[in-house]
């Protein structure tokens, strides 16, 4: 099979942490032909979508972990699977790249994940479809309304931008803190931008779970534990990873949310769960595969490529 990986520059990835790297390596080990490009290499015209791609082989030596082959313009409909693995943020370039990738004939090419779904399944907002699964939450640009909500839920909330990633822009707001109005004016840009406010969950100090879901099934998990001097557990800001078990509550959450993801065409996602509450559904190049592999002695990339092979074989246009 021929796989195209649309991703950030491969030269800059950390091969000990990057999930896309192990997808590449697993596909390569099975004899699939991997191709590589960035979103800037996508070109649409009267004949549909093409990409300026090159073949790529990977190895496990950091900083010389890639080798490029022939670079050429290729019709995107000639690939068996296209992996959209551009990392967040979901900015205008990412947005328009999903429109370009929507030009691919998905009766012939398996899209991982479906481009239109990446636009629809906003990582912060998607959870609002499931009020029974989440902590008390509002989305607003009104500082007074957010402060009123804070009082209603016990005087302790977390606020975060709707387009944030990797823990950026997350603040804790507590009743009586003299910084509250300044925080909210800053994060909403004086009421111009909506933000999400959620009741602070004390369980977050023990870690928030990253649960990898592949084709509707929970396949692996870890907990990201914040440093003592930080609110956030994100790995990028110093959170530590520990093994986590997938329990009854996690399976209930996946069972409730997975049908909607499947209908949209989200086949690989990362659920974030604190205590009993779903906090985010990550679809834009979710990470955590290598950490979970190490902690739980699994090989999630094999499950991913197994799934891709099944989906490609089932395409109506093949």
Of 80, 123, 250, 280, the active-site residue reads 280
Of 232, 234, 291, 301, the active-site residue reads 232
| Model confidence pLDDT, tens digit, residues 97-153 | 999 999 999 999 999 999 999 999 988 999 999 999 999 999 999 999 999 999 999
State residue 238's pLDDT score: 57
Q: Is the pLDDT of residue 308 over 90?
A: yes
Q: Is 232 a catalytic residue?
A: yes
Of 85, 86, 199, 210, the active-site residue reads 210
Same domain, 142 and 76: no
Mean pLDDT, rounded, for 240-252: 95
296 domain-assigned: no
60 domain-assigned: yes
The CATH number of residue 257's host domain is: 3.30.470.20
Same domain, 16 and 112: yes
Q: Is 129 a catalytic residue?
A: no
Q: Is the pLDDT of residue 239 over 80?
A: no
Q: Is the pLDDT of residue 293 over 60?
A: yes
| Model confidence pLDDT, tens digit, residues 254-270 | 999 999 999 999 999 99
Q: Is 160 a catalytic residue?
A: yes
Of 123, 180, 224, 234, the active-site residue reads 224
Same domain, 9 and 107: yes
Same domain, 185 and 90: no
Q: Is 251 a catalytic residue?
A: no
Number of structural domains in the chain: 3
Of 85, 86, 124, 199, the active-site residue reads 124
Q: In this prediction, what percent of the chain has a pLDDT beyond 90?
A: 87
Q: Is 199 a catalytic residue?
A: no
Of 160, 199, 215, 293, the active-site residue reads 160
Q: Is the pLDDT of residue 318 over 80?
A: no
State residue 90's pLDDT score: 85
Q: Is 272 a catalytic residue?
A: yes
Q: Is the pLDDT of residue 167 over 80?
A: no
Mean pLDDT of the chain: 94
Are 105 and 115 in contact, with CB atoms under 8 Å apart?
Answer: no
Q: Is 234 a catalytic residue?
A: no
295 domain-assigned: no
Residue range(s) defining the domain that contains residue 273? 203-282
Same domain, 210 and 190: no
3 state SS for the chain: CEEEEEECCHHHCCCCCCHHHHHHHHHHHCCCEEEEECHHHEEEECCEEEEEEEEEEECCCCCCCEEEEEEEEEEHHHCCEEEEECCCCCCHHHHHHHHHHCCCCCCCCEEECCHHHHHHCCCCHHHHHCCCCCCCEEEECCHHHHHHHHHHCCCEEEEEECCCCCCCCCEEEECCCCCHHHHHHHHHCCCCCCEEEEECCHHHHHCEEEEEEECCEEEEEEEEECCCCCCCCCHHHCCEEEECCCCHHHHHHHHHHHHHHHHHCCCEEEEEEECCEEEEEECCCCCCHHHHHHHHCCCHHHHHHHHHHHHHHCCCCC
Question: Which residues are registered as beta bridge partners of 58?
Answer: 66
The CATH number of residue 34's host domain is: 3.40.50.20
State residue 317's pLDDT score: 80
Same domain, 270 and 230: yes
Q: Is the pLDDT of residue 51 over 60?
A: yes
Same domain, 141 and 213: no
């Amino acid at each position: 099979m021929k796989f195209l990986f649309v991703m950030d520059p491969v030269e800059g990835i950390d091969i000990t942490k990057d999930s896309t790297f192990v997808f590449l390596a697993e596909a390569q080990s099975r004899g699939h032909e991997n191709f590589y490009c960035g979103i800037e290499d996508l070109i649409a015209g009267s004949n549909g979508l093409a990409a300026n791609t090159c073949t790529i082989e990977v190895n496990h030596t950091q900083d010389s972990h890639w080798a490029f082959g022939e670079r050429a313009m290729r019709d995107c409909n000639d690939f068996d699977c296209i992996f959209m693995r551009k990392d967040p943020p979901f900015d205008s370039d990412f947005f328009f790249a999903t429109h370009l990738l929507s030009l691919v004939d998905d009766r012939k090419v398996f899209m991982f994940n479906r481009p239109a779904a990446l636009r629809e399944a906003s990582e912060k907002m998607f959870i609002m479809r499931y009020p029974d699964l989440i902590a008390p939450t509002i989305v607003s640009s009104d500082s007074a309304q957010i402060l009123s909500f804070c009082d209603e839920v016990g005087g302790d909330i977390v606020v975060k931008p709707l387009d944030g990633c990797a823990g950026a822009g997350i603040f804790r707001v507590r009743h009586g803190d003299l910084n509250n109005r300044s925080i909210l004016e800053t994060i909403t840009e004086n009421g111009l931008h909506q933000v999400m406010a959620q009741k602070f969950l004390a369980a977050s100090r023990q870690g928030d779970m990253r649960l990898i879901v592949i084709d509707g099934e929970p396949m692996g998990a870890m907990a990201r534990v914040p440093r003592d001097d930080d609110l956030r557990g994100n790995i990028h800001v110093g959170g530590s990873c520990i093994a986590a078990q997938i329990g009854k509550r996690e399976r209930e959450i996946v069972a409730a949310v997975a049908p909607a993801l499947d209908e949209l065409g989200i086949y690989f996602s990362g659920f974030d769960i604190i205590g009993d509450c779903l906090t985010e559904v990550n679809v834009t190049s979710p990470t955590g595969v290598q950490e979970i592999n190490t902690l739980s002695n699994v090989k999630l990339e094999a499950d991913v490529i197994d799934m891709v092979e099944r989906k490609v074989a089932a395409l109506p246009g093949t």
